[in-house]
Amino acid sequence: MNKLVWSLSILGTLALATSACSVGYIYERYGATAPAIVTVGCHSSYEVFENLRDRTILVRTNAGASIAGLVCTDDLPPGTPSSRLERAVDVHFANTNRPKCRITERRELSPIHSEFSYVCPS
């Protein structure tokens, strides 16, 4: 039992350390940006922050979206949590009248923050 508690505490510490490293980066790039709330299948909502200058989007998930993704049966498209985050970016593009923009890269900044680079045709 002690080994399990020790392992879980190490994992928790690593998760906190990883998110703490990205907090400064997130604030620097997206701190002045108001989020857009994007809803995908099963009424799962995500906060989307966009840095137009750098053509990057930060998507922040929440516990409700994660739970809904596990029990959802009408999710479009069906899939992993990462596909839902990508879907949130696509919905954001549609909501901002940029349906031809595409994701080029994804980076995990913390357990709840994912950053996407994108391109839009001229």
Question: 66-97 pLDDT, tens per residue?
Answer: 666 666 666 555 556 668 889 999 999 999 99
Q: Which domain holds residue 115?
A: 2-119
Angle at 100 between CA 95 and CA 105, to 5 degrees: 95
Nearest Cα neighbor of 88 from 26, 52, 36, 53 is 36
Which residue's entry shows tokens 């399990």?
4
Number of domains in the chain: 1
- Residues linked to residue 77 through DSSP beta bridges, in sequence order: none
Provide the pLDDT for residue 20.
Answer: 46
Asked if the model's pLDDT at residue 39 lies above 50, the reply is yes
Asked if the model's pLDDT at residue 56 lies above 90, the reply is yes
Alpha helices for 31-114 (secondary structure H): 63-71, 81-95
Question: 91-113 pLDDT, tens per residue?
Answer: 999 999 999 999 999 999 988 89
Q: Alpha-carbon distance 114 to 112, whole Å?
A: 7
Which residue's entry shows tokens 């357990």?
111
Alpha helices for 1-122 (secondary structure H): 2-30, 63-71, 81-95
